[in-house]
Amino acid sequence: MPANVYSAIEEKGFDDGTVYIMTQNASVIEAHTYSGIIIFFKSLRLSFDQICEVLSRGDIKEITFQKTEVRPEIARAEVLVKTFPGAMAASAINPARATRAKLIRIVRLMSGLIKANKDEETKAFESIRRQIAILYPGFLPDVSTIQKRIDGLGEEFGITTPFLDGKPLPDEIYSVPEFIFRNFEPIGNSSVMKELVLYYLFFGEAARKVVRTTVEQETSLGAKEGHAKLSQMIYAEWKNSSLVSIFKGFDKIGNIIIDWDKHENKTIAMTKADIDHLGLRKGDKINLIFED
């Protein structure tokens, strides 16, 4: 049996669903998890404090996991204040194990906490924010830093934000995640680019390198459709890649097989047919993500 319920959830790799915990004295706790975090619990026989004690100790008779859809809206601030430290101790958001998608879902959970703007929810948000920042120092530091990250999206990802239309960030950091989700999630067709941008805005790290370049039409008689020519000298870091995803801003427009060339050519050379098929023009600015 794991050290406690939090460790059991992490060892199981359990994200969303219901966890039934039976204690040694046959009391039953029903706990609901979202991204591996207990966000709500109840028991017919145990009080709130007694449930918290059971979750953190190891004398548990049985644990049953049931995958179900869990809405983050059911989260209770007082529960998260008690359970999040346990999840942290069980390495639920350890950088070596937690995916970007999981971390972004946890930010979404935090965002939903403060819609009512009550003191209790705000305190819970701040408590979780401080704990995450222990492992991720760039996590939601302050409003001005998030604004600088938004302003830097062009340099980091080749992305502009006309959709913001001059809308300012909220004054309080606890309102920033909801603003970002509301304005950035509807944009673009690529979950990959969206995840990279959201992670950068929340955590301050570019999790994958996005390379900016221009389109050039291939004039060689050896040009092949479905392929792109790139310099293995300029792009030496990725010369073992065989596929590149092409983006215009937030939108993914296609994948192209790479033909590595020994010359120094900073552009991406393609056949006219490929340029037309992808809806590009010679000289267009594009972003590349090299696939592993």
CA dist list (Å): 105 to 15, 52, 177: 11, 23, 11
Strand, helix or coil for residue 230: strand
For the chain, residues with pLDDT lower than 70 are 1, 115-117, 221
Q: In this structure, are residues 287 and 157 in contact, taking their beta carbons and an 8 Å threshold?
A: yes
Q: What is the pLDDT of residue 258?
A: 95
Q: What is the pLDDT of residue 231?
A: 94
Q: What is the pLDDT of residue 165?
A: 84
Q: What is the pLDDT of residue 249?
A: 85
Alpha helix segments (H runs only) across 57-175: 77-89, 100-113, 119-135, 143-151, 153-157
